[in-house]
Amino acid sequence: MSLLTYNVLTVDVEDWYHVCGGRGEISVQPRESWRVRRNLEKILALLAERGQKATFFMLGTVAENDPALAPLICSAGHEIASHGYSHHLVTGLTPQQFIDELQLTEQILIDQTGQRPFGYRAPQWSLSEQNPWPFAVLRERGYLYDSSLNPLPFVGNSRGSRIPYLLEGEGAGLWEIPPMVTRSLLGNLPTGGGWGFRFFPFRMVRASIEQFNRAHHPAVLYLHPREVDPAGPRLDLPFLKRFVSYGTRSDAASRLSELFQRYRFITLKELVDEWQHVS
């Protein structure tokens, strides 16, 4: 089977309180309330059970708070990528602050694992082709791909590409890899991750994966460690923000387990390396 028909699970490694626009965006909760390690271990166990690989977008502050997490991921053969440092939206950072966050997270991960990140994902999909300077920064710093442009309304461009492509202009040469969405009469639906992955019928998720694969494209899924933690705490947020951040309180683990039985998953860097070789 071609690598193009493989799929990718991506995990944004952040804790339960890392919600953009919530108090967790700028403050760290007490150590006794941290839950990222136990939830990450659940995800790693599910992957190991089926011999699957994934890409983990590591938040710099989380890696700094628990220096054993990134080595745990790498020792299991998974890819470490960057989710920035502070979990602030990129739109709220100056170019120098963005560079500083990238550099700080890179150094933390290199020190902890001996590996530098080659991929990046912005908190809450906060990059845009209409504001291209961050893509140029990523390219200049040696990144191979970005996965921040979500083809959805409100958090991205609903008319944006649903499949991976090479950026042009300031970020020329950088691969952009959007998460999976499902087309519908209501527009693109977020079946590839977050609350949508748990909310929409599972047959819809599977059908979308298979549609991507029939066209020889990878389906890129994403989740947060809190999504395998149905008993975990929540921030006190307005209703809509609360739903978008947490969705239904169902556990994503059972769906992940079934997908791991049905399909093969590799890392984003493996895909990009293959694409670079072919081109």
Residue 64 buriedness (CB in 10 A; 0-12 / 13-18 / 19+) = middle
Q: pLDDT, tens digit, for every residue of 225-245?
A: 999 998 888 777 777 777 767
Q: State how far the Cα of 208 lies from the Cα of 256, in Å rounded to an integer.
A: 15
- Residue located via tokens 């040696």: 142
- The β-bridge relationship of strands 119-120 and 145-146 is parallel
Q: State how far the Cα of 205 lies from the Cα of 202, in Å rounded to an integer.
A: 5
Q: Note the pLDDT of residue 23.
A: 45
Domains and CATH numbers, the chain: 3-121+178-278 (3.20.20.370)
- The β-bridge relationship of strands 220-223 and 79-82 is unpaired
Lowest mean pLDDT among 32-46, 49-63, 164-178: 32-46
Q: Are 125 and 149 in contact (CB under 8 A)?
A: yes
Please tell me what DSSP assigns to residue 140: H
Q: Are 174 and 143 in contact (CB under 8 A)?
A: yes
CB atoms within 10 A of CB 162: 20
Residues in the chain: 279
Strands (E), the chain: 8-13, 55-58, 79-82, 119-120, 145-146, 165-166, 175-176, 220-223
Please tell me what DSSP assigns to residue 192: T
Whether pTM exceeds 0.85: yes
Residue 63 has pLDDT above 80, yes or no: yes
HSE of 251, CA atoms in CB hemisphere, 13 A: 12
Q: pLDDT, tens digit, for every residue of 122-163?
A: 998 999 988 899 999 999 999 999 999 999 987 778 888 999
| pLDDT mean across residues, the chain | 90
Q: State how far the Cα of 240 lies from the Cα of 47, in Å rounded to an integer.
A: 32
Give, to the nearest 10 degrees, the angle between helix 133-140 and helix 95-113.
30
Q: State how far the Cα of 171 lies from the Cα of 149, in Å rounded to an integer.
A: 13
Q: Note the pLDDT of residue 22.
A: 46
Count the helix, strand and coil residues of the chain and give each as a percent rounded to the nearest 5.
45, 10, 45
Q: State how far the Cα of 259 lies from the Cα of 265, in Å rounded to an integer.
A: 9
Q: Is the dihedral of CA 221, 37, 251, 83 positive or negative?
A: negative
Q: Note the pLDDT of residue 189.
A: 94
Q: Are 81 and 117 in contact (CB under 8 A)?
A: yes
* Higher pLDDT among residues 170 and 10, named by residue: 10
